[in-house]
Amino acid sequence: MESKKSTLEHSYSSPQPSSGPHRENGASHPNSSIFIIIIVVTSFILLIVVSLIILLLRRLNSSTKKTRGNTDCDGENSIKSPSDNFTCPRPPNCNSSPDAKGGCLHAPNPSTPSSRSRRTVLRGVQVFTYRELEAATEQFSERNVIGNGGCGVVYKGVLSDGTVAAIKVPHREGKRGERAFRIEVDLLCRLNCPYLVELLGYCADQNHRLLIFEYMPNGTLHAHLHPSPSPRDAHVQSMPLDWGTRLRIALDCARALEFLHEHVVPSVIHRDFKCSSILLDQNFCAKVSDFRLAKTGSDKINGQISTQVLGTTGYLAPEYASTGKLTTKSDVYSYGVVLLELLTGRLPVDNKRGPGEHPLVSWALPRLTNKEKVVEMVDPALNGQYSMKELIQVAAIAAVCVQEEADYRPLMTDVVQSLIPLVKNYSASSSNSLRFQSIPGSLSS
Catalytic residues, by residue number, are 272
Asked if 379 and 416 touch (Cβ cutoff 8 Å), the reply is: no
Residues ≥6 apart with Cβ < 8 Å to 159: 132, 136, 165, 200, 212
| CB-based contact 255:416 (threshold 8 Å) | yes
Q: How do 268-269 and 295-296 pair as beta strands?
A: antiparallel
> What φ, ψ does residue 415 adopt, rounded to 5°?
-65, -45
Residue type, 158: V
State the DSSP H helix or E strand holding residue 363, giving kind and residue range, or none if neither. Answer: helix 360-364
288 strand-pairing partners = 196, 278
* C-alpha closest to that of 258 among 216, 316, 196: 196
CA distance 424 to 417: 11
Tell me the HSE value of 331 on the side-chain side, using a 13 A CA sphere: 33
Contact (CB, 8 A) for 338 and 253: yes
User: Residue type for 291, please?
Assistant: F
Alpha helices in 352-411 (DSSP H): 360-364, 371-376, 388-401
Are the C-beta atoms of residues 332 and 257 closer than 8 Å to each other? yes
Beta strands in 171-231 (DSSP E): 199-203, 210-214
Question: Which residues, including other chains, have CB under 8 Å from residue 321's CB and lie 6 or more apart?
Answer: 309
